[in-house]
Structure 1
Amino acid sequence: MKSFFAISFFFLVIIQLKAQNIKVLNSLTKEPVFGVAIYNVDKSKSTVTNFLGEASLSAFSNTEIIYFKHLSHILKEITKAQLGQLNRVYLVSNTEGLDEIVISASKFEQNKRDIPQKIININAESIQFANPQTSADVLEGTGQVYVQKSQLGGGSPMIRGFSTNRLLITVDGVRMNNAIFRGGNLQNVISIDPFSIQNTEVTLGSGSVIYGSDAIGGVMSFYTQQPQTSLTDSLFFKANTIVRYATASNEKTGHIDFNLGYKEWAFLTNISYNDFGDLRMGAHGPNDYLRPEYVSITNAGDVMVENNNPLVQKTTGYQQLSLMQKVHYKPENNLSFDLGLFYTTTSDYARYDRLIRYRNTTLRSAEWNYGPQNWFMSNLQITKLSSHSNFYDKIKATIAYQNFQESRMDRDFQSSIRNIRDEAVDAYSFNLDFEKNLALKTELFYGVEYLYNKVMSHGEEENISTNTIIPTVSRYPNGSSWQSAAAYSSIKYKPNLKFVFQSGLRFNYIVSNADFTENNQYLNLPFNTAKTEASALTGTAGIRWSPNPVLQWKLNASSAFRAPNIDDIGKVFDSEPGSVVVPNNNLKSEYAYGGELGLKLNFNEKFILDVSSYYTYLDNALVRRDFTLNGESQIMYDGELSNVQAIQNASKAWIYGFEMGFKLPITNQLNLTSQYSVVGGTEEEDGIEMPVRHAAPNFGNTHLVFTHNHLKLDAFAVYNNELSFLQLAPSEIEKDYIYAKDVNGNPYSPSWYTLNFRGQYQVSKSTTITASLENITDQRYKTYSSGIAAAGRNFILSLKYSL
C-alpha cells in the first residue's frame, strides 16, 4: 500500500510539473527556441528556456503579463490565463536579430554582424507571409532587388545596376549560372520553388572571391529546407499542405511536403504545382500597355482577333511542376551526408513582349513561345568536423550535376515557317571548402572549385503547311564546352567585439571551346573553331567597426570579373527586329572594381537606420554592338535582311547608388519599416556617354506591420520613379513597343505606385490562413524594361494545414 501511495504521489508531482511547464517554439518551423528570457513587468520573476525550449511558469500568477524575449524573435506578451491549457508559446522570427547567421559570405556559417558587405536575409516565415508567385517575387519583395519580366513566366533580377549574367544564383551552395547565361533577360530563377526555400541570402555587391566569374553585381543564394531527424527512437513525422488562389491570373496552386525522421536518417519530399491563367493588368494607367488584339491560329490560318477585354494579356498563362527530394544521413556527430534532388518543368509559355510587336498595321508574330524550361539537379554534400586536424575544423565536399533544357519557337504572322531552336547544358561541379580557427581571434576559410559545362544546341525550320522539317543555324555551336578551375582563401580577424577585418583572394582560370563547323554552312564565318582562355586574380578587403552599441560602420573594397562564356562567343539570335547577333572569337574578360560604405544606427531597438552607398567601375564591358561579317554589315537571317551585331569588349561603365532603410517600433506589436534605393550610372563608348541599361529607376517600399499572438497584418506601399526618354539606354529605346509614350511620342518608363494589404492568422496549431489584396487602386504599370504589365487588383488566398 505504501508503495502504491508513493507511486501515486510521484505521478501527481510529474503531472503538476508538466502543467507548470511551457514550451517555446518558432511559429513557422515549430522548432524549440533556446535561451528565451521569460519575465514579468518589473522583472522580479524570470526564467530562461532550456535546449528543448522548455521553462516553468510556476512562479507567475494567472493574471500578470508575462514577456517572452529572444534576440532573433519578436517580443511577445501573454498571461497564463490566456494560455489556458495550451502549453506552447509561438514566437515570430525577427530578421533584425543580432545573432542572425549567414552562409553565403564564406560558404560556412558566420554572424551577419561580422560581414563587411550588405547581405539581405529572407527566411521561410517571411516568404510564407508574402505569398510569392515565384522566387523572382521573393527577391522583389525585399525592396532592394528590382525585377524585370518579359512574360508571366519570368523574372530577371537587377541588383545595383547589374543584371542577368553579371549576377550569380546558387542553390544550396551550387552555382546555377551556366555557359549560356546571357546578357539579355533571364528567367532561370523561377525554376526554384518558393515553397522549398528555408532561407535566401542576397549579397549586394561583388562576390567573386567566393563564387568566381559572373558575381559582379551580387549573389542570390537560395538554401532549401533540410530533413529533420528524430530526437527519440520513434519516427518523427511532419507534413504540410498548402492551397492558393489568386484572381489576377486565375492562379491555382497546390503544395505538399512531408518529413520522415529516424535517429540517423531523414527524408524530405516537396511537391508543388502552379496553374496560371492569362494575367489581367490594372484599369488605370497608360493606354499603350493595353492588349487590343491578338493572333488566333485557326484551321484557315492566322487571324487578327479583337480582344474583348484589352486588360487581359492574352496567351500569358502557363503551368509549372516542382519536385524536391532530400536525404540526410548522420552516422556520427561529426559526419553527415546530404543528398538533394530537384526537378522543375514548365509548359510552353509565350514570350509576351515579342507578341505585342507590330509590323506596319499587323502583329509581327503569330507565335513566339519558350518551350518547357526544365531544370534538374542532383547534389551530394559531405560535411566532416574535426578537432584534431591541423588543416581544418570543418571540411565540406560538394558534388553536383545539373541539366538545363530550354527551347524557342517563333513564326511570323501568316507565315508557314516555324523556327525552332533547342538548347541543353550538362553542368558538373565540384567544391571542396575548409574552415579553420588559426587562433582565438583569427579564422581562415579556403577552398578549390572545378566546373565543366557541355552545350548541345540544334536549329530547325518546320513548314507547317507541308509538315516538313529541315535543319538550320543553331543558337549556339553544338558540342561547345566551358571549364573553370579556381582556388580561394578568406581570412577573418576579430580582435574584439567592436572590430572585424575580413579579406580574401581568388585565382580563376577559365577555358571555352567552340566548334562552328555545323553553323558555318549557314553563316560562312571566317573561323571554324574558337578557344578563349582567361585568368583572373580578384580580391576583397573590408572592416566592420562598432565603436558603441548605437553605431556600426562597414567599409568594403573588392574586384570582380566575368569571363566570356559560350553565349558571348558563339550565339546566333535575333536581338531585335531587323538585327542578328553573330559569333565573335576575339573576346576578353570584363573586370569590375568597387567599394561600399555602410552605416547602421540602432537606438536601443527603438529606431534602426541602415544606409549604404556604393560605386563600381566596369572595364572592358562585354556589350552587344554593330559588327561586320566577312565585310558585310547585313546578312539574311530567318528570311529577313538583318543588321549584323556581336558581343564585344566595347564599353566601360560607372555605376553608383545609395540605399536607405529604417525600422521604427511604434509599440511592441506595431512596426513601421521602409526601404529606398537610388541607382545611377553612365556607360561610355568611343567617347560618347549614355545611360546604363540595367540601372533601375529609384524604387522602394514602406510597411506598417501589426503582430499580436496568432495574427499578423501588413499595410504597405510599393513605389517606383519615372525614367524619361533621355534616361533610357539606346538598347531600351529600340524596344519602344514595350514602353509608354511621352507627350512627344518618345518611349519612357512612367512612375507608379501600389497600395496593398495582407494578413495572416494562425487558426490553430495546424491551420494558417494568409490573404492579400494587392494593387488595391488597380494601377496599370510595368516595372522598368518589362514587356508584360504587372497584375491589376489581385486578391490572393492561401490555406496551410500542418501535421
Structure 2
Amino acid sequence: MSLNITYKFFLLVFSLFLGVTQAQEIQVLDQESGQPIFNVAVFNADKSKATVTDFDGKCDISAFERQERITFKHLGYITYKVTKNHLRKIGSKALLAPNAQQLEEVVMSVSRWEQQKKDVPQKITTVSAAAVSFTNPQTSADLLQSTGQVFVQKSQLGGGSPMIRGFATNRLLIAVDGVRMNNAIFRGGNLQNVISIDPFSIKNTEVVFGPGSVIYGSDAIGGVMNFYTKGPEVSSLDSLKVKGAAGYRFASANMEHTGHGEISLSKGKWGAFSSVSFSDFDDLTMGTRGPDSYLREQYAARVNGEDVLLVNDTPEKQLPTGYDQLNLMQKIAFHPSNRWQFDLGAYYSETSDYARYDRLIRPNTTGDGLRNAEWYYGPQQWFMGNLQAYNKARGRFYDAFKLTAAYQNFQESRHSRRFGNDERHNNFENVDALSINLDFENKRMKNFRWYYGGEFLYNKISSNGYAENIETGAAQGIASRYPDGSRWESSALYFNSEYKAQPNLSLLGGVRYSHVWINTRFDTTYYPFPFTEEKLSTGALTGSLGLSWFPKADLQFTLNGSTGFRAPNIDDMGKVFDSEPGAVVVPNPALKPEYAYNVEFGVRKNFGDVLTLRGAAYYTYLVDALVRRDYTFNGEDEIWYDGELSQVQAIQNAANAFVYGFEFGLDAYLNENLTLKGNLTLTEGEEKDKDGTHVPGRHVAPTFGDFHVIWRNQRVKADLFVNYNGEIPFDDLAPSERSKAYIYAQDANGNPYSPSWTTLNLRSQWLFANHLKVSATLENITNERYRTYSSGIVAPGANLILGVDYVF
C-alpha cells in the first residue's frame, strides 16, 4: 500500500515537473497569420530579466516567476503583457496583434524597390494577407472594395471594375508581382480582368493613388493596383521543410462554394510553392428593401425553337448570373547564394461562360420586351509565365538589379443574339503579351538613393468572328472586333531618386520617356473602310516630384506633383463596329496620347498613439482626353448596324477633363481590444468638349466610405461596420449613363438617378489551436436592395459567409 502511494506521489511530482519544464519555452505568433515573429523583446517590469525570440518565434522564459508579469514588445505589433502562469494555461503561445499605427511599413510599388512608406509623398493603401484572410473576399475586385478607398463597379457577377479618383478601366494600371496586366485591348468600358487574380494567393496588395507613369508608363493615370503573390520561403536548411494551408468558403447570396489549397516546400537553396482554388457561384439574390425597378421580373428562354419571355417566380434572383472559376499558381525559387536569386512563376485563371447581366435586362425599343435573348462572355482565360533574376552584388553603377521577363496570354470572347433572331454573333480575341523590365538600385551616395531602368512591351492581337444559326448550325464570317494581327509596342527609360534632405524630410522625384508604336491593318471584306492600314508612332515624357515632411514625430505633411499619360491602344484606334446602346462605335486612326497633370497634398496626425487622422486633397487635369463622341462613317452620322439605325460614334481626342477630391481616414486605438477605423472619399469631375460643352465625368464615383468598430483578443476578432454610398442625381449623371435608364432608379420627375444606400455588416474570425481559423460574416444585415453606381447587377441581399482555414 505504501509503495503504491509512493509511486503515485512520484508520478504526480514528475508530471508537474514535466509540465513546468515544457512551459519554459514559449512561442510568439502573429495573431492574424499564425506565423512566428522573430526578434520580439521579452522582459519583466524592471527589465532585470530579458530575452528575444528566435527565427521560429521561440524563447526560454524559465528565468521568470510564475506570477511575474511578462511584456512582449515588437516594432510592428501592439505591446502585450501577460503572466507566465497564464501563458502556461493558454498553451504557451503568445499572440501579438499587428500595429497599424506603425509608419515603418515597406512598400515597393512606387520604385519597384523597397521603400519606407513614410518617405513616399503619394497616398498608398496596403492590404496584407492577414487582412485578406479576415475580409474573405470572393474576388480580387471585392478585396479592393473592402479597403473602403476603392470604388468597384460590376456589370455582372463575374466582374469588378475599380474606380480611383475619377478614373477607371484603361486609365488605371493593374500589375501582378510587378508585371503589368494591362494589354492593348483594355477598353474604356468596364473591365473584368482583375478577377483573374486569386485572392487566396495574395501576400499583399498595394494601391497607389494618382499617376504612376514614371515607373509603369502608359495607363497609370488614376492609380496603380499591384498584387504581390505568395511564394516559397527558401531556407538554408538541408532538411525538407513543408508548410501548407487549406480552406473552404460558403456564401448564401449566390450559394458560393470555394475550395483552396496551397503547399510550400523548401530544402537547401531550392523552394517551391503551389496554389489551387476553385469557386462555384450560383445566381445572385438581391435584397428585399429597395426600388422595385431592380427586380428581375421576366427573363428570356428558348422553348420549342422560339424565344419566349418567362415570369421569374423569385424576382429577387438575378437570372442568369452564376459561373465558376479555376485559379492555379506554381512558383519555383533557386537562391544559389546571398547575392543571387532566381524566381520562376506560372499563373493561370479560367472562368466558365458568364452572362453580361446588364445587356440581358435591357428593354427593346418598344419597351414591351427584352432586346437580347443571349449575351454572355466566353471563358476568360489568363496565363502568365514570369522569370525574375535578382542580384544584389554591388557593381560600378548599381547596388542591385532585377531582370524580369514575362509572357502573358489573354483569351476572351463575346456571344450575343437578339430576341427572336436565330443568328448568334460570336467574337473571339487572343492577346500575346511580352514584357522585359531591367531595374537598377543604387544607394551608394550619402543621402541619395537612385532607381533607374528600362522596359520593353510587345502585344499582338488575334481577332475573328462568325455568325451561326442556332437552329440549322449554318455559319458565316462576320467582321472581327479588332483588326486581326494588330501590334502594339512600347519602349521606355526611367530615372527615379530619393533624397533624404534631413532626418525628417524626404524628397522623391523621377522622369520617364516612353515611346509607343501601333500597326493595324483593316479588312474591307465586310465594311468599306476609307483606310486599310494605320500606323502610330508617338512619345511621352512624364515626371514627378514630391516631399514627405515630419515637422514633429507625430505629424506628417506630403506634397506631390506628377504627370501621367495614356497612349492610344488597339481598342481606341481599331475597334471594328462595337455596338453600344443606341449607337455603333467605329475605328478612328487619327488619335494621339492623353496627358494628366496632378497635384496632391496630404496630412497625417497622431494623437498620443491613440488616434490617427488622415486627410488628402488632389486635383487632376486631363488634356486631349480620349472619349467616345459622335462621328461619321463615309460621311454618314447614322448607319444601319445589326438591324438597327444607330448613331455613329468613335473614340476621339475631343475633350479636356478635370477631377478633384478629398479623402479622409481615422484609426482610433481605444485599448488593447477595441479599435475604430473609418474612410470617406468625395470626388467631383467634369469633361469639357472642345466645343465648350460640359458633361459630368462617367467614372466619378459617388461619395462613399465605411466605419468599423473592431474588437479582438488573443483568439477572436470581430468587426461591426457600415458601408455608405451617396446619391448621384440625374443632373450629375454622364450622358452615357443617362442612356442606360434601365439600370437606374427613377426620381420624382421620372429621370434615372443613382440612390444613396447604407448597409450594416458583421464580420468575425476565431483562431483555434493556432492552426485552425473559422470565420463567419453577415453582410447587408437589413437586406437592402441596392445597385452600386454604374453597375448592371444588383448587389447581394442579406448574405451569410462561412469559412474555415487550416494551416500546417
Partner of 1:477: 483
Amino acid of the structure 2 residue aligned with 1:464: I
Q: How does 1:647-662 map to 2 (within 5 A)?
A: 647-662=651-666
Between the aligned partners of 1:690 and 1:319, the Cα distance in structure 2 is: 39
Contact 2:581 2:739 in 1 (8 A): no
Q: Which residue of 1 aligns with 2:500?
A: 494
- For residue 113 of structure 2, give the secondary structure of its aligned residue in structure 1: coil
Mapped partners of 1:148, 1:60: distance in 2? 56
Deviations 1:157-203, CA, capped at 9 Å, x for gaps: 00000000000000000000000000000010000000000000000
Q: Is the 8 A contact 1:95 1:121 kept in 2?
A: no
Contact 1:271–1:322 (8 Å) recurs in 2 = yes
Query: Hey, what's the Cα distance between the residues in 2 that align with 1:440 and 1:56?
Result: 41
Q: Please name the residue that 2:181 is paired with.
A: 176
State the partner residue of 1:196: 201
1:741 — aligned with what?
A: 746
Shift of 1:28: 4.6
Letter in 1 for 2:657: A
Question: What per-residue deviation string (whole Å, max 9, x for no partner) do you get for residues 429-462 of structure 1?
Answer: 0000000013231100000000000000001111
Q: How does 1:414-433 map to 2 (within 5 A)?
A: 414-433=420-439
Give the C-alpha shift of residue 693 in structure 1. Answer: 0.8
Letter of the 2:596 partner, please give it: A
Determine the structure 2 residue equivalent to 1:3: none
Q: 1:547 and 1:59 mapped to 2: Cα distance?
A: 43
Classify the secondary structure of the residue corresponding to 2:712. Answer: strand
| Match status 1:365 vs 2:372 | yes
- The yes-or-no answer on 1:379 pairing with 2:386 is yes
Letter in 1 for 2:496: S
Unmatched tracts of structure 2, length 5 or more: 1-15
C-alpha distance in structure 2 between counterparts of 1:292 and 1:15, whole Å? 67
Query: In the TM superposition, what is the alpha-carbon distance from 1:635 to its structure 2 partner?
Result: 1.9
Please give the secondary structure, in 1, of the residue aligned with 2:414: strand
Query: In 2, Cα distance between the equivalents of 1:20 and 1:495?
Result: 48
What's the secondary structure of 1:283's corresponding residue? Answer: coil
1:567 has 2:551 as partner? no
Counterpart selection for 1:551 from 542, 548, 555: 555
Matched, 1:620 2:624: yes
Note the C-alpha offset of 1:636: 2.5
Which amino acid in structure 1 is aligned with residue 765 of structure 2?
A: Q
Q: How does 1:292-303 map to 2 (within 5 A)?
A: 292-303=297-308
Q: Which amino acid aligns with 1:462?
A: E
Query: Is residue 2:345 matched to residue 1:351?
Result: no
Provide the residue aligned with 2:65 in structure 1.
61
- The worse-fitting range, judged by mean Cα deviation, of 96-105 and 765-774 is 96-105
Q: 1:527 aligns with which of 528, 531, 538?
A: 531
Cα distance in 2 between the residues matched to 1:772 and 1:732:
33
CA deviation after TM superposition for structure 1 residue 34, in Å: 2.8
Give 1:126-137 correspondences, 5 Å limit.
126-137=131-142
Are residue 237 (structure 1) and residue 242 (structure 2) matched? yes
In structure 2, C-alpha distance between the alignment counterparts of 1:237 and 1:411, rounded to whole Å: 52
Are the equivalent residues in 2 in contact too, given 1:76–1:709 (CA < 8 A)? no
Decide whether the 8 Å contact of 1:355 with 1:366 is kept in 2.
yes
Q: What is the TM-score when the length of structure 1 is the normalising length? A: 0.96
SS in 1 for 2:254: coil
Q: How far 1:45 sits from its partner (Å)?
A: 5.0
**Are the counterparts in 1 of residues 28 and 94 from structure 2 also a CA contact under 8 Å?**
yes
Letter in 1 for 2:779: E
Question: Residues of 1 paired with 2:99 and 2:304: CA distance?
Answer: 58
Query: 1:300, 1:418 → 2: CA distance?
Result: 14
Select which of 275, 287, 296 maps to 1:291: 296
Give me the whole-angstrom Cα distance separating, in 1, the residues matched to 2:302 and 2:679: 46
1:448 corresponds in structure 2 to: 454
> Aligned partner of 2:294: which letter?
Y
Match of 1:7 in 2: none
Judging changes above 3 Å, is the alpha-carbon distance between structure 1 residues 445 and 14 closer, same or farther for their aligned structure 2 residues? Answer: farther
AA at the equivalent of 2:646: S
Amino acid at match of 2:388: Q
- Please give the alpha-carbon distance, in whole angstroms, between the structure 2 residues aligned to 1:750 and 1:266: 52
The letter for the 2-side match of 1:656 is Y
Q: Do structure 1's residue 108 and structure 2's residue 100 form an aligned pair?
A: no
Q: 2:518 matched to 1:512?
A: yes
What is the one-letter code of the residue matched to 1:378? G
Query: Counterpart amino acid of 2:636?
Result: E
Q: Find the aligned partners of 2:261 and 2:520 in 1 and give their Cα distance.
A: 43
* C-alpha contact (below 8 Å) 2:594/2:653 kept by paired residues: yes
**1:689 equivalenced with 2:694 (yes/no):** yes
Structure 1: state its 5+ residue gaps: 1-11
Question: In 1, are the aligned partners of 2:34 and 2:770 still within 8 Å (CA)?
Answer: no
In the aligned structure 1, how far is the partner of 2:276 from the partner of 2:99? 28
Which whole-Å CA distance do the structure 1 matches of 2:72 and 2:289 have between them? 46
- What's the secondary structure of 2:731's corresponding residue? helix
The corresponding residue for 1:226 is: 231
The alpha carbon displacement at 1:95 in A equals 3.6
| Preserved contact between residue 229 and residue 236 of structure 1 (Cα < 8 Å) | no
TM-score under structure 2 length normalisation: 0.95
- How far off its partner does 1:17 sit? 7.8
**Percent of residue pairs bearing the same amino acid type:** 53
Which SS does the other structure have where 1:523 is aligned?
A: coil
* CA distance in 2 between partners of 1:683 and 1:558 (Å): 20
Which amino acid in 2 is paired with 1:427? A
Q: State whether residues 434 and 459 of structure 2, in contact with CA within 8 Å, keep that contact through their aligned partners in structure 1.
A: yes
Are the equivalent residues in 1 in contact too, given 2:564–2:596 (CA < 8 A)?
Answer: yes
Aligned residue pairs: how many?
Answer: 789
The answer as to whether partners of 2:23 and 2:88 remain within 8 angstroms in 1 is no
Q: Alpha carbon RMSD of aligned pairs, Å?
A: 1.7
How far apart are the structure 1 equivalents of 2:754 and 2:137? 25
In structure 2, how many angstroms separate the alpha carbons of the residues matched to 1:229 and 1:192?
24
Q: Is residue 2:403 matched to residue 1:393?
A: no
Q: Quick one: distance in 2 between partners of 1:557 and 1:243?
A: 45
- Counterpart for residue 9 of structure 1: none
Show CA shifts across 1:390-442 (max 9, x none). Answer: 21111000000000000000001111110100001000000000000132311
Separation in structure 2 between the aligned mates of residue 573 and residue 358 of structure 1, nearest angstrom:
21
One of 713, 716, 733 as aligned partner of 1:711? 716
Question: 778, 786, 793: which is aligned to 1:788?
Answer: 793
Cα distance, 1:61 vs structure 2:
3.0
The answer to whether the 8 A contact 2:499-2:508 is kept is yes
Q: Which amino acid aligns with 1:102?
A: V
Give the letter aligned to residue 245 of structure 1.
F
Once residues 786 and 239 of structure 1 are traced to their aligned partners in structure 2, the CA distance between those partners, rounded to angstroms, is 38
**Cα pair 2:305 2:471 within 8 Å, conserved:** no
* Aligned residue in 1 for 2:273: 268
SS in 2 for 1:84: helix
How far the C-alpha of 1:24 sits from its partner, in A, is 1.9
Contact residue 72 and residue 98 of structure 1 kept, 8 A: no
How far 1:20 sits from its partner (Å)?
A: 2.3
SS at match of 2:335: strand
**Secondary structure at the counterpart of residue 540 of structure 2:** strand
1:397-416 superposed matches below 5 A: 397-416=403-422
Supply the distance in 2 between the matched residues of 1:55 and 1:13 (Cα, whole angstroms): 19
1:465 matched to which residue of 2?
471
Q: Which runs of 4+ in 1 moved over 6 A?
A: 12-18
SS at 1:438 equivalent: coil
Q: 1:52 Cα deviation (Å)?
A: 4.5
* C-alpha separation in 1, matches of 2:81 and 2:765: 19
Q: Supply the distance in 2 between the matched residues of 1:44 and 1:308 (Cα, whole angstroms).
A: 73
Distance 1:350 1:82 in 2: 56
For residue 643 of structure 2, what is the aligned residue in structure 1? Answer: 639
The alpha-carbon deviation at position 91 of structure 1 amounts to: 2.4
